[in-house]
Each structure stands twice: as C-alpha cells, then as structure tokens.
Chains A and B, each alone.
Chain A
Amino acid sequence: MSKHIISAIQGVGHRTLEGIRRLGRATLYFLLVLWKSGTSLKRFGLVVRELYYFGVLSLIIIVVSGLFVGMVLGLQGYETLQKYGSETAVGTMVALSLVRELGPVVAALLFASSAGSAMTVEIGLMKATEQLAAMDMMAVDPVARVVAPRFWAGVISMPLLAAIFSVMGVFGGYLVAVVFIGVDDGSFWSQMQSNVDFRVDILNGFIKSCFFGIAVSAIAVFEGHDSLPTAEGVSVATTRTVVTSSLVILGLDFILTAFMFRGL
C-alpha cells in the first residue's frame, strides 16, 4: 500500500518537474523567437504571406461566429431588458459584451483552434519531414526563416480578427434587435455611442487581444518545433496547442480584466 502511495507521489513530482522544465524551455524558445525576429522585420513579405494563411483564411469562421454570437446576444439581451423597460439599452449591452470580453476571448479561442493548430501542424510536419533540418544545413536559421514570420503573423492577425468579430457581433445584434424585433434604430445606436468608451472599452479590448495573439502564437510555434518528429508526436502537439492556448486565454482574460476594469 505504502509502495503505491510513494509511487503516486513520485508520479506527481515527476510531472511537476517535467511541467516546470517545459515552461522553462518554452520561455527560452519565446525569447529566441524574439531575438531572431530581425529577418521578419527586414523581409516583411515573409510575414505578409503568413498573414494570408493564418489571418485571411481564418476570416470566414470569425465573421460567421461573430455574427451569430451578436445575434444571440441581441435576442437574449432584449428578452431580459424588456422586463425592465430598458430594451433600447440592448445596443449598449451587445457592444460592451463584445468589445470588452466576447470579441477578444471568443476570437482568440477560435484562432487557437484554427490558425494555432495549423501553425503547430505545419512546423511539426516540417520538422518530421526534415525540412527544418535541411534548412539548418543550408545555413538558413529555421527559427528566423520559418518560425518568427508565423509568430508575428499570428500576433498581428489576432487583434484585427477580434475587431472584425466585434463589428460583426454588433451588426448581428442590430439585425435581431432593430430589424427583426423592432427596437428603435436611433436609441440602439445613440445609447451605444454614449456608453461605450474608446479608451476604457475598445482600447482595453484591443490590448487584451494583443496579449492573446502573443500567447496563442508563442504556444503554437513552440509546440510545433518541440513535437516528436512522428505522426503521433505532431498530433499530440496539436492537441496541446489548442488545450494550453484555451486555458491561457481564459486565465489571462481574468487577470487582464481585473487590472483593466477593476483597477487592481
């Protein structure tokens, strides 16, 4: 019995140490990517190409999700607010929910599962098929040439996608509340205009999505480059990217919200 307990404790200790080691490796790798980002700045075309693959190709899921999230918010908001006779505040509610929270968070979760996993798979497969090793043997640094442009494309894409998500969400809320239900058009927009603050709401939401972009992209490229060069290794790394990114997004969101809106 005591043997089992000792082995269980050893297992926990081993996993904890391995987790700390991974965190250390990931941090060093993140610093390495930043260090080798000069090529991305000098040859911005490399970043633009990745912006297309990870940003533009993620647009459809962001646009559709944003629209539907906004429509649901409009519907739910109207149902609740009309009980208090404040249905004209539905525009404010939809906009604040989106720009402060749902825009950055849901867009980041969608980005992690689409573009983040794609980044991991691409880098992982390049490693498994010796493309990164071949590049290194050709005296071309794979971190500078392959990883850094993808990382920066993710960082740039994320706030833009979150903004598009919020805009589509507001449009969805407008469609449901104003066009379908019949809330007054002028009140919808004017209340939103007077209650949504550029610095407190929009800028803070933008800053959040920048943090999420850095986190998701850093996790995705690290997991890809750190994966075992096998089909199973790439598959495990992809799952890790989505799970870790999602947890980090939710954790970061709480911390950032506490600092931004509660002034901690």
Chain B
Amino acid sequence: MTSETLVEISDLNFAYDDKRAILKGVNMTMKRGQLIAIMGGSGSGKTTLLKLIGGAAKPSSGYIKVSGQIIHALGHNALYAMRRKMGKLFQFGGLFTDLSVFDNVAFQMREHTDLPESMIRDLVLMKLHAVGLRGAHHLMPAELSGGMARRVALARSIALDPMLMLFDEPFTGLDPISLSVIGSLIRRLTDDLGMTSIIVTHDVQETLSIVDYVYLISNGVIAAHGSPDEMKSSEKPFVHQFIHGEVDGPVPFHYPAQAYRQDLGLEDIFV
C-alpha cells in the first residue's frame, strides 16, 4: 500500500434543489490501495457521494479530485477516459440482461480495446475464475442467483483492472454465505489489483471486518471517522447507536410529530 492520495474531497456541498441539502461540507482523503467504507443510515447522502465521485452528478460547491483531476470539471471525453480507470458495482449488479455472463464481462474489453477474441476469452475466464464463476460463463443473467449476479457484476467491473472501485450497497439482499463471499472478494481483489475501493453500505459487521478506514455520515455531514477498531470502541452516542444497531438514541425511534395525546384527541376530553 502506498501513501499517495487517490481521492480528495474538499468542502463538498450538494443539493438537489434549494430546500434539500444532501451533503454539507464533506472532507475526505482516500489513499491508493485502501479499502474505505462510507457508512450511514438510509437517506444520509452516501449513495449521492458515490455518484459525485464517479462524476454522475456535480457538486453545488467544493470539489472532488480523483488522481489529481477535479472530476466534475472534466469534459465528456476526459470524464470517459477517467471512467475507464474506474469500476462500479451497482446495488443490484446492473448486468445486461440480453448478454450472457461471458459477454457481460467481455463488454468493456470489446468496447475499449482491440484485443483479439482469443485473448478476450482468456481474460474473461480469468476474471470469472477470480470470483469463482468460471463454470457459469455460458449462463444468462436471469439464470443467476442474487449473489452470483453480484459476483458476475464484480468480475465485469474489474475487467480493465481499475485503479478505483466504487461499491454501491454490495451486501444488500444477500444470504449470509453470499455476503461473506462478496466481502472477502472485495478485500482480496482490492489487495491483489492494488486498487482503491470505496464501499457505500449500512451493513456494519461485514464491513468492519474487511475495511481499512470508515467514514460515518449522518444528515449529510461526517459524524465520525477512523479505523474499524476506533469505530467499535467509540463512545460518541451516534457512532455507538449505529455500530451496535440500538433502537433509540441520537437517531430517534419516532419521526417528529405533535404530542401523542393531542394526535389522539385525548387532551380535549381530559381538560
């Protein structure tokens, strides 16, 4: 692992409109070869942050630099050149349903390289072997289980050996075995390919067991950050509630509402 910074996020603000600020003054630094988790509850802004890093949205202010280049200042061609060095695993895979497993993994190679078909075949089988699905190369996406589809999507996203991998909720909807398989694959591929990986997730246990560093986001701001051990032992109320999955705490169980008695019309009776 080198100490060179690959992703730098500085004073990042993002809002869909004037009323809804999604991210507020976010600062992050991610080094090459690191596996970083961005965690937080639903609607905390973590998926939006992943879109911003991939250049799929533009910040309201602040900047994101990837490999020294401000991602949202890039033109169409420069952004596509940058994305060739990135990979993204979508929440439900995003596999092309009209292509077989083999053709899905070969897609980027055929689009972006002039490699002969025999070499593409070998590379695809190697990528599929890395995720344990070499024998499933002839299947169509509709024939795969959720966990297998996620692994094929992972093989497809590393097809061109990216320097930066983005994982959007990679553990959602998986059984415990598939979840562990995906978790260990993310860790192993990050180390083997020497890439930087960013996982957006709210799965605490699996994530803390594989990542190097954690950012915890709440309401669009970074509530805490540190190593997995620091997060586990943190006494900050929000971090404690999130990591241990407590029902009540700084994030209240009840959505804000007027007094219960008032809602039930009891005050008028007992006054």
Contacts and interface: CB of A to CB of B under 8 A. Distances in A.
Interface in B105-144: 107-108, 111-112
Given A130-B91, A133-B56, A139 B96 contact: no
Interface residues of B, number: 22
A17 interface: no
A135 B93 CA distance: 12
Interface residues of A, number: 13
B73 interface: no
Given A137-B56, A138-B108, A131 B97 contact: yes
A57 interface: no
Interface in B148-183: 153
B220 interface: no
Contact of A139 (B92, B93, B112, B153): B112
Contacts of A135: 96
A129 B56 contact: no
Contacts, number: 48
A139 B91 contact: no
Interface string B79-94: 0110110111011111
A1 B83 CA distance: 58
B112 A131 contact: no
A138 B111 contact: yes
A135 B84 CA distance: 11
A76 B90 CA distance: 59
A130 B83 contact: no
Interface of B: 54, 56, 80-81, 83-84, 86-88, 90-97, 107-108, 111-112, 153
Given A136-B56, A138-B108, 15 more contacts: A130-B91, A130-B93, A131-B95, A131-B96, A133-B56, A133-B94, A137-B54, A137-B86, A138-B107, A139-B80, A139-B83, A139-B108, A140-B111, A140-B112, A141-B80
17 contacts: A129-B92, A129-B94, A130-B91, A130-B92, A130-B93, A130-B94, A131-B95, A133-B56, A133-B94, A134-B95, A134-B96, A137-B87, A138-B111, A139-B80, A139-B83, A139-B108, A140-B111
